[in-house]
Amino acid sequence: MTSRKLSLPVAVKAGHARLALQLHQTSKEIIAMPDSQHFSPALPRTLHTPRSHALLSESWAQAEEAKRMERAGDDLQLTYEAYAAGAPCRACGRALLGEPALGTDEESLAQIDADNAEFRAEHAACNIGVWRLENNRVEHCHLCCPFPPLSPAQRDELRQLIYPPSLHIDRSATWRVELICQHVETLAGRSPRYVEPTVQCTECAVIRGVVKAVRIDDQAKDGDDGSVAEGLQPDYQRLTDEQWSWIKHIVHSEEGPRRGRPRTDIRTIVDAALYKTRTGITWRELPAEFGSWQTALRRHHQLIESSQWDEITRTLAERDFPQ
């Protein structure tokens, strides 16, 4: 392995001490790299244009779709209809629904236990364990065998837990979206505030990133900035006035006169933190409508340290507000 060093005199002579230090640190990293590796500058920390955001979202969505299509042919998960009809596990071929046709006498049960012991030995390398359904003695591997699918009733129950009746999701808006490919799509039955960052283009027949979205339904107000969405985020309803009334007393004491630059409204900070929690994004990915992500992060930490954030989330949870 050979080493390569960067020359410092030009930077030093010009008086750029900070640049010289950066070059020196970079030279240390390059010296430690084999010749087969090439140094490449770091990618920019943020993307500043709607088109760059759309291209990034498009690449992620297309990669995820490619993975999904690749897995589709090897999907081991049964449909509920097949499971209810008595189909065996697609991974191991063992029974899922009901006992095997061996009887329930001691000899048959001993045979099932012996079969389970053999199955455990075959999957010892999985090192996770086994599972079995209620009223069924046949065991399955946690790593290799997918769990049975949810029934329609269970799916409805889960949907009610995720989206309680108190949560009203408005999907009355219609949007016209401009895509990376310069085609235009019309999306109906969407949120009045946000549209998805990617859309299936009917002309290209592939997923495309959304560069710009304009609301075109009757409820859109002429000249209203909220009718145009360039920083596109997943569907999220900001706190209503009623919801804010539940918690504003918790942070009311923080609102006070101060010198210097005006603070970001505390309601916006709470909305930003709730948005981040719901969507799972990083602070750097916080939409511009919430203001500076550094400010949101810093003030969110202040709320946590003062225990105000715990009180906010507890109050909202008691009102069935989704966290």
d(CA 130, CA 82): 22
Q: Which two tokens stand for residue 313?
A: 């989330």
CA dihedral sign of residues 74, 80, 85, 89: positive
* φ/ψ of residue 91, rounded to 5: -85, -45
Contact 208, 199 (CB under 8 A): yes
Per-residue pLDDT, 179: 92
d(CA 91, CA 147): 11
Per-residue pLDDT, 197: 87
Q: pLDDT > 90: what percent of the chain?
A: 14
The pLDDT tens digits for 119-161 are 999 998 888 889 988 878 889 999 899 999 999 999 888 888 8
- Residue identified by tokens 């511009």 is 288
Spell out the alpha helix ranges (H) of the chain: 9-13, 17-31, 50-72, 80-84, 106-122, 152-162, 241-251, 266-279, 293-305, 308-318
In eight-state DSSP terms, residue 232 is -
| Cα 66 to chain centroid, rounded | 18
pTM of the predicted model as reported, rounded to 2 decimal places: 0.42
- Residue identified by tokens 């609102």 is 255
Which residue in 228, 210, 282, 285 sits closest to 55, CA to CA? 210
Name residues of the chain where pLDDT drops below 50: 1-17, 19-21, 23-24, 26-47, 223-226, 230-232, 234, 254-255, 260, 323
Contact 317, 309 (CB under 8 A): no
Q: Which two tokens stand for residue 177?
A: 């979206």
